[in-house]
Chains A and B, each alone.
Chain A
Amino acid sequence: MDRALARDLQERFSDRLLVPVRQRHDETEIRVSLANAVDTLRALHDEPAFGFEMLIDLCGVDTGDEMQVVYHLAAARSADWLRLIVPGIDRAAPRAPSATFMWPGAEWMEREAYDMFGIIFEGNRDLRRIYMPDDYQSHPLRKDFYLADDASRSPAAGVRNMERAGTPRDATAATAVRRAKGA
């Protein structure tokens, strides 16, 4: 754990951090709101004190209540990787700023997040589906998406289907109802 990095982050971004800096193993985690995301990314990349030049990963997360965009950044100054979480994105119409102004390599990762979660990245020049067919309607990694032939699904319309108890009879009925609805 890089304590100096945590201290620097806390000092520099004290006005916009939603929760204090968290550290575990070799990862440092900060959370900023959607409005501050671009400024924070730019500061982390440009300021020599941080120098997070590498975007290791960009992904979407659906928590069931909200969408998140998660960035993993690496810098030469520290063995710690920085995880920047942008929480609180509206699940009904998810929109987030694109990181392609800084990292053009984020283009496909954003396309993937759009394909899988429906998050619209404003500023991405090529935001279309990447894995699923162009005429596909839903977004598979959202928590309200069901696996098509999940025989183990419980009748509860929940997310954690293997967690919920359900009798096989109920499961069959639920499957039948879903098929009838064409879902």
Chain B
Amino acid sequence: MTTETTRPTRPSLDDPRVAIPGSSSWYEPAPTPQTERQAEFLNLRDGEMFINMGPQHPSTHGVLRIIVKVNGEQVIDLDPVLGYLHRGVEKLCENADYHQAICYTDPLEYVSSLFCEAAPVAAFEKLMDVEVPRRAQYIRVLTMELNRIASHTLFQGWMALDLGGLTPILWSFIERDEIVDMLAALTGQKLLYNYYRIGGVNGDLNHEFMSRLGAWMSRAAKHIDSNLGLMNENELFVRRTRDLGTLDAATALRMGVTGPNLRASGVPFDLRRDRPYLVYPELEFDVPTRTEGDALARYLVRIEEIKQSIRIIDQVLHEMPDGPVMAKLPRLIRPRPGRAFGAVEGPRGVYGVYAISDGTDQPFRMRIHDPSFVHLQLVGPLTRGNLIADTMAVMASLDPVMGGVDK
């Protein structure tokens, strides 16, 4: 009689792996599909296999896991898995008062957090029917455009890094550090500023901010141009990004794409023009668009936006009036019951907050709309049929920030 040791079918009760018959190893079975689309995705044909990218992959701009279905080196399909950074900010805001809610939204899109503040502040100001003083409006435009430049220069470095170039990120951090130091002198924080208030801003411009800004402005355009030479004239970069992940205007509109990604597909939609807020109608600037809709176009649109932002800052510094920076408001904000959607044109697209007030001092519902969340859906459709390395190039060109995606 043969003595056969019976091997358990699973390593432990909470381990999803099961035993492979006739072998000493384990394997993890594919999850049971819950939807039609997932069933399609989990169905492997001949020669196909799954590869996990992330959650800690350095090129995912945060904590994102992508399950990639590959055939050799070619991407057949992919399925992003979100939620690793989910903090439940919407729920937290419902349990905080209006002032506290603003600083909860700060860490969402951590590379451009002033926009995350500007959107709820705009929504709450609409609920309160409050007029922001002119000087505060100018200060908001000034700081938001600085933040946009910081975000776009960082994008430039990230994009190169995801394509394998190490130098541009070091250069773009020089630019970004100067802006961050400038804003730190103004707000006291380097990353999560918490500077905007309902009805104005927290404190007027100070001397250190102005002197740093003046010094930076005198050489900003030159610096940014020299950074550009590193990438725009780099044949490897241009040839890898041209005609990669092409998005046409009709698809972009149907997918809900906004911001530079939409403008790179030829739709000149910019909230600063099309749904004006603050003092933007009085300022002179262009809305750069391109028609190609590929990764290179998305990159070039952002570069053009940096130049327009410098132009806006120049005008703001010349035209900024004197006056108060806060409107007169009660300490406790209790808007009348109502609904408002505050939106700003962020560096990634429309950043919006839909706030519902029920007359108490806490928002009844605060919906945060993040453009990165919408754009991340495109990674699948745009990379199908390309190589694995192009996944990262497409993703970098869409510029999602996982802090915003996961809320």
Is residue B90 within 8 Å, beta carbon to beta carbon, of the partner chain?
yes
Q: Are A105 and B367 in contact (CB under 8 A)?
A: no
A131-B406, A162-B95 given; A141·B340 CB < 8 A? no
CB distance from B89 to the nearest CB of A (A): 11
Instruction: Pick out which of these stretches binds chain A: B62-70, B80-88, B211-219.
Output: B80-88
Tell me if B242 is interfacial: C-beta within 8 Å of chain A.
Answer: no
Expressed in whole angstroms, the Cα–Cα distance for A147 and B94 within the complex equals 11
CB pair A147 B91 closer than 8 Å: yes
Is B203's beta carbon under 8 Å from chain A? no
Cβ of B276 under 8 Å from chain A: yes
Q: Tell whether A95 is near chain B: CB-to-CB under 8 Å.
A: no
What is the distance, in angstroms, from A69's C-beta to the closest C-beta of chain B? 11
B90 near A134: Cβ-Cβ < 8 Å:
no
Q: Which DSSP category, helix, strand, loop or mixed, fits chain A's interface?
A: loop
Q: Is A105's CB under 8 angstroms from B377's CB?
A: yes
Point out the residues of chain B lying under 8 angstroms from A47, CB to CB.
Answer: none
Instruction: Provide the A141-182 mask, 1 if CB < 8 A to any CB of B, else 0.
Output: 100010100100000000011110000000000000000000
B36 beta carbon closer than 8 Å to chain A: yes
B35 touches A54 (CB 8 A): no
Per-position binary interface string of chain B over residues 32-43, scored 1 when its CB falls under 8 Å from any chain A CB and 0 otherwise: 001111100000
Nearest Cβ on chain B to A77's Cβ, whole angstroms: 11
Cβ-defined contact, B352 with A56, below 8 A: yes
User: Given A79-B276, A81-B341, A104-B254, A128 and B38 touching (CB < 8 A)?
Assistant: yes
Bound complex: CA of A132 vs CA of B274, how far in Å? 36
Q: How far is the CA of A57 from the CA of B34 in the complex (A)?
A: 25
CA distance A81 to B352 in the complex (A): 12
Of B82, B83, B90, B354, the contact of A72 (CB 8 Å cutoff): B354
Residues on B with beta carbons closer than 8 Å to the beta carbon of A81: 275, 341, 343
**How many residues on the A side are at the interface (Cβ–Cβ under 8 A)?**
48
A102 within 8 A of B: yes
Question: Is the CB–CB distance between A102 and B88 below 8 Å?
Answer: no
Stretch at the interface among B193-201, B255-263, B294-302, B391-399: B255-263
Of all chain A residues, the one with the shortest Cβ separation from B87 is: A131
- Segment 25-65 of B: residues with Cβ below 8 Å from A: 31, 34-38
Q: For the complex, is A96 an interface residue (Cβ under 8 Å from B)?
A: no
Provide the residues of chain B in CB contact with A145, threshold 8 Å.
Answer: 91
Residues of B within 8 A of A29 (CB): 339
**Which residues in A have their C-beta under 8 angstroms from that of B95?**
147, 150, 161-162
Contact B254 A59 (CB under 8 A): no
Is there an interface contact between B256 and A54, defined as CB atoms closer than 8 Å?
yes
Is A3 part of the binding interface, using a Cβ–Cβ cutoff of 8 Å?
no
Among A24, A102, A105, residue most surrounded by chain B Cβ atoms (within 10 Å): A105
Contact A74 B275 (CB under 8 A): yes
- What's the least CB distance linking B234 to chain A, in Å? 32
Q: How far is the CA of A150 from the CA of B185 in the complex (A)?
A: 35
Q: How long is the Cα–Cα vector from A62 to B364 in the complex, in angstroms?
A: 9
Given A24, A74, A102, A160, which contacts B360 in the complex, CB threshold below 8 Å?
A160
User: With contacts A126-B37, A128-B34, A163-B362 known, is A105 near B88, CB below 8 A?
Assistant: no
B365 CB within 8 Å of chain A? yes
Tell me whether A26 is interfacial, beta carbon within 8 Å. yes
**Interface status of A133 (Cβ within 8 A of chain B):** yes
Instruction: Decide: B377 and A131 in contact? CB cutoff 8 A.
Output: no
Write 20 A-B pairs (CB below 8 A) sorted by A numbering. Answer: A54-B253, A54-B256, A54-B258, A56-B343, A57-B352, A59-B367, A62-B365, A70-B354, A74-B274, A74-B275, A79-B276, A104-B255, A105-B257, A107-B377, A109-B373, A127-B35, A131-B82, A140-B88, A147-B95, A163-B360
Additional A-B contact list (4), CB under 8 Å, known A57-B367, A61-B365: A57-B354, A72-B341, A131-B406, A131-B407
- Which A positions have Cβ atoms within 8 angstroms of B? 24-27, 29, 53-57, 59, 61-62, 70, 72, 74, 76, 79, 81, 83, 102-109, 112, 116, 125-128, 130-134, 140-141, 145, 147, 150, 160-163
Closest 3 CB pairs of A and B: A105-B256, A105-B255, A126-B37
